[in-house]
Amino acid sequence: MEFTFNSNIEVVPEIVSRTSNDGTVIVMKMTDDDFFYKINGVSAEIWLRFSNKKTNLGEIINELAQDYDLPAEKIRTDAQVFLNKALDLKLIQLI
């Protein structure tokens, strides 16, 4: 799926996550405790913003571009890979 700057995304309600001391995010589905996922780097930053109820991808990308002094398009490209995987795993949904 092609996510755009206008895409609005949220974490699926049955997902819980915690951040470890090193910034890695651990994600688990409450309906399936046999699986958990580790997210790090820019993907973890994106996840944290979605889990804090920020939903607009464009806003998140622009914030990260400023925080890391990187082109927004580079972050969008990286985010695309992560978001497609998260969508496939039913960790996020479009709203």
The answer to whether the beta carbons of residues 85 and 3 sit under 8 Å apart is no
pTM comes to: 0.86
Question: Tens of pLDDT along 77-91?
Answer: 999 999 999 999 999
Quote the pLDDT of residue 32. 80
Coil, strand, or helix at residue 41? helix
Q: Which helix (H) or strand (E) holds 34?
A: strand 32-39
pLDDT band at 2 (very low <50, low <70, confident <90, very high): confident
Residue 23 CA to residue 2 CA, distance in Å, equals 27
Question: Tens of pLDDT along 26-80?
Answer: 999 888 877 899 999 999 999 999 888 888 999 999 999 999 999 999 999 999 9
